[in-house]
Amino acid sequence: MKSKVFFIKTHDGEPLSSIAQKIKLLFDSAEIKSTINRGDMVGIKTSFGEKGNIGYIRPPLIKAVVDKVKVSGGKPFLFETNTLYVGKRSNAIDHLMHAHEHGFTIENTGAPVIIGDGLFGEHDCIVRINQELCENAYIAGVAKASNSLISVAHVTGHLATGMGATFKNIGMGLSSRGGKLAQHSGVLPQIIKKKCNLCNVCKVWCPANAITMGKETAIIDPEKCIGCGECLAVCQFDAVKIAWDEDTINLQKKVAEYSLAILKEKKGKVAFFNFLTHITIHCDCMDKPYKPDIPDIGILVSKDPVAVEKATIDMVNLHTGRDYFRSIWPKIDYTVQLEHAHKIGLGNLEYDLQTLEQV
Ligand code: SF4
Ligand code: SF4
């Protein structure tokens, strides 16, 4: 049987109040209320965006989800986890202060923020999944404890997975720092000697102190490198290379397997929003105010994470007239995460799309 996916159009510059009404309509149409029992602690997973980033989903839109969860009898909270890399979100205190600065206050959203894996990423749970690459997954304690889960993902390109949306939001976004390390293990960047000008930036950003400046080039210590990809992201001189052909396949499969761990005990208690708005080549973990690469398309929602991701790809390709994510990250086969998620039983590649009328 096909999974149901609901869609509503949005357009560039649309007022947030109008989009918020559309989110509420999607919530009702997809019957997300049925995933919430009275008194459930409902975790709403989104990203607060790195400092300097402008792509994250704005607090008034998150409030629309929060309001509907309350009406449905649940107790909503927003949650995120600590990042691997140096930035404003690598420990709970900096992360909470940063979320507040980006407007994710109780006054603005109606719900508190919880950093789901503790002060430094120490609060995790081991979930046995026995999959192709991961026997166990290390997920944020709060992700396991929450009764229901609503993923609110911003669809973007991604330097490591080609595309980032629902699976990136939950598989990577709700793993603990230990889980993120496990997913990135196997990714080992190399420095291209003739391009490196010893600017030192990668060394400053490397969270594992794995980079030193040699006489002619930066040097990565493979024993210390945790594969986070941060040096690739920050190098302005294209001097860092990662063999994505091999590395991205395992990374994407692990993201899917971690999604399985997150969703394992939440059957019938989950829903997934994908925002096809302000779509950028890089994800919201980047500390840059990237402009949208294509016009806004709309919002999709489903109770099936595979179906919503497949509908997202189809919708973006339809609107751009090309295999969009492949065109922006040509060396990465971004479909691996989707196909692996389907293969391990996370959902259906076939879906019925219902387009809602404008409100
Ligand atoms: S950021 Fe790039 S150019 Fe600068 S030291 Fe690192 S590899 Fe070399
Ligand atoms: S050298 Fe390794 S640990 Fe350091 S930033 Fe690059 S990928 Fe991350």
Task: Indicate which ligand has the atom closest to the C-alpha of 206.
Answer: 2
What is the whole-number distance in angstroms between the Cα of residue 244 and the centre of ligand 1? 19
What is the whole-number distance in angstroms between the Cα of residue 208 and the centre of ligand 1? 16
Task: Indicate which ligand has the atom closest to the C-alpha of 198.
Answer: 1
Q: Are strands 162-164 and 156-158 parallel, antiparallel or unpaired?
A: antiparallel
Q: Are residues 26 and 108 in the same domain?
A: yes
Q: Are residues 15 and 106 in the same domain?
A: yes
pLDDT at residue 87 tops 70: no
Q: Is the CB of 118 under 6 A from ligand 2?
A: no
Two tokens at 313?
A: 């790809």
pLDDT at residue 248 tops 90: no
Q: Are residues 236 and 250 in the same domain?
A: no
Region 253-262 average pLDDT: 97
As for how many domains the chain has, the answer is: 2
Out of 202, 225, 231, mutate this one to test ligand 1's pocket (max ligand atoms within 8 Å of CB): namely: 202
Of these ranges, 81-85, 238-242, 277-281, the one predicted with the greatest mean pLDDT is 277-281
185 pLDDT band, cuts 50/70/90, is confident
Q: Are residues 261 and 133 in the same domain?
A: yes
Nearest to 233 by CA among 281, 164, 186, 274: 281
Q: Which residues constitute the domain of residue 197?
A: 190-241
What is the whole-number distance in angstroms between the Cα of residue 175 and the centre of ligand 2? 19
pLDDT at residue 252 tops 70: yes
Q: Where are the beta strands (DSSP E) in the chain?
A: 3-9, 41-45, 75-80, 113-115, 124-128, 136-140, 148-154, 156-158, 162-164, 190-191, 211-213, 218-220, 240-241, 270-276, 298-302, 351-355
**Least confident interval from 205-209, 296-300, 305-309:** 205-209
Q: What is the pLDDT of residue 244?
A: 61
Give, using CA atoms, the residue closest to atom 2 of ligand 1: 235
CATH of the domain at 221: 3.30.70.20
Q: Are residues 43 and 11 in the same domain?
A: yes
Q: Is the CB of 242 under 6 A from ligand 2?
A: no
Q: Is the CB of 226 under 6 A from ligand 2?
A: yes
**Least confident interval from 177-181, 242-246, 287-291, 348-352:** 242-246
181 pLDDT band, cuts 50/70/90, is confident
286 pLDDT band, cuts 50/70/90, is confident
User: Which amino acid would we find at residue 328?
Assistant: I
User: Which amino acid would we find at residue 45?
Assistant: K
d(CA 186, CA 126): 21
From the CA of 191, give the closest atom in ligand 1. 7
What is the whole-number distance in angstroms between the Cα of residue 236 and the centre of ligand 1? 7
Task: Indicate which ligand has the atom closest to the C-alpha of 87.
Answer: 2
Q: What is the pLDDT of residue 342?
A: 98
205 pLDDT band, cuts 50/70/90, is confident
Out of 194, 197, 206, mutate this one to test ligand 1's pocket (max ligand atoms within 8 Å of CB): namely: 197
Q: Are residues 70 and 84 in the same domain?
A: yes
Q: Are residues 174 and 236 in the same domain?
A: no
Q: Are residues 275 and 334 in the same domain?
A: yes
Q: Is the CB of 191 under 6 A from ligand 1?
A: yes
Q: Is the CB of 196 under 6 A from ligand 1?
A: yes
Q: Are residues 86 and 130 in the same domain?
A: yes
From the CA of 220, give the closest atom in ligand 2. 1
CATH of the domain at 22: 3.40.50.11440
246 pLDDT band, cuts 50/70/90, is low
Residue with tokens 């210590």: 221
**Least confident interval from 1-5, 47-51, 192-196, 320-324:** 47-51
Q: Are residues 134 and 74 in the same domain?
A: yes
What is the whole-number distance in angstroms between the Cα of residue 168 and the centre of ligand 2? 19
Q: What is the pLDDT of residue 120?
A: 84
Q: Is the CB of 239 under 6 A from ligand 1?
A: yes
pLDDT digits over 211-231, tens only? 999 999 999 998 898 877 778
Q: What is the pLDDT of residue 245?
A: 56
Q: What is the pLDDT of residue 238?
A: 84
Q: Are residues 157 and 134 in the same domain?
A: yes
Q: What is the pLDDT of residue 82?
A: 87
Mean pLDDT, all residues of the chain: 93
243 pLDDT band, cuts 50/70/90, is low
- Which residue, 200, 226, 241, sits at the end of a domain? 241
Share of the chain above pLDDT 90, in %: 77
Give, using CA atoms, the residue closest to atom 2 of ligand 2: 225
pLDDT digits over 157-173, tens only? 998 899 999 999 999 99
Q: Are residues 174 and 213 in the same domain?
A: no
The residues with which 211 forms a beta bridge, in sequence order, are 220
The residues with which 14 forms a beta bridge, in sequence order, are none
Region 55-83 average pLDDT: 96
